Chains A and B, each alone.
Chain A
Amino acid sequence: GENVEQHPSTLSVQEGDSAVIKCTYSDSASNYFPWYKQELGKRPQLIIDIRSNVGEKKDQRIAVTLNKTAKHFSLHITETQPEDSAVYFCADLSYNTDKLIFGTGTRLQVFP
């Protein structure tokens, strides 16, 4: 069945450094890969997404890369700030099932 593995589970960085979170998926029919940010006690919010016909997408300090051959996609945050501290979830959507499968999350802490 579909599965998404997310690493690392926790990540601590110094303010201004970069952070990278990686997800691996198993369903070759997956075609949509969103990333959600969830602050403590809040709702998940979409921060960036990428579709299978694109290899990279950027939005200011956030970028996502997709390697379809290796079946993995990564979130890159540059020049991290304390307000980037949150739990980040990747997800993938299978064309066959039309349902999102979420990773287990990465807790990012940015220290001033």
Chain B
Amino acid sequence: NAGVTQTPKFHILKIGQSMTLQCTQDMNHNYMYWYRQDPGMGLKLIYYSVGAGITDKGEVPNGYNVSRSTTEDFPLRLELAAPSQTSVYFCASSYSAGNQPQHFGDGTRLSIL
């Protein structure tokens, strides 16, 4: 099992550009999540999904979009990137409801200049 895999690991984006962060899991987990972690801070939930075809907003969804066409994949799209979106992005998954352990990917470090 590879667990949760995120690509790319690092990326530099110009202001106004768009980008998709990829996340895939091979644990057959139903729930998937996207968090952002700003320097010295905790994790803020951007979007989450309870299963294929179902997505919902978290605490900080503005400027992002997601889709969940398969159980395995949960890509995060940034449209019109802004400097405030410079952060480390973590994807996570859990087998079922939120009260199950969440398994995190290695993160994507994104800089917007």
Where the two chains meet, the residues of A that have a C-beta atom closer than 8 Å to any C-beta of B are: 6, 31-32, 34, 42-46, 49, 51, 89, 93, 98-100, 102-105
Contact = CB atoms under 8 A, between A and B. Distances in A.
B7 to A, nearest CB: 14
B101 A43 contact: no
A102 B43 contact: yes
A89 B42 contact: yes
Sorted nearest first, the 10 A-B pairs with minimum C-beta distance are: A32-B99, A102-B42, A43-B104, A98-B98, A102-B43, A104-B42, A46-B101, A93-B98, A44-B104, A43-B106
Interface of A, secondary structure class, is strand
A32 B98 CA distance: 9
Given A43-B90, A45-B104, 9 more contacts: A44-B43, A44-B104, A46-B102, A89-B43, A98-B99, A100-B98, A102-B43, A103-B42, A105-B40
A98 B90 contact: no
Nearest to B3: A43
Contact of B45 (A6, A89, A100): A100
B97 A98 contact: yes
Interface in B66-109: 90, 97-99, 101-107
Contacts of A31: 99
Contacts of A44: 43, 90, 104
A102 B41 CA distance: 9
B106 A42 contact: yes
Contacts of B44: 102
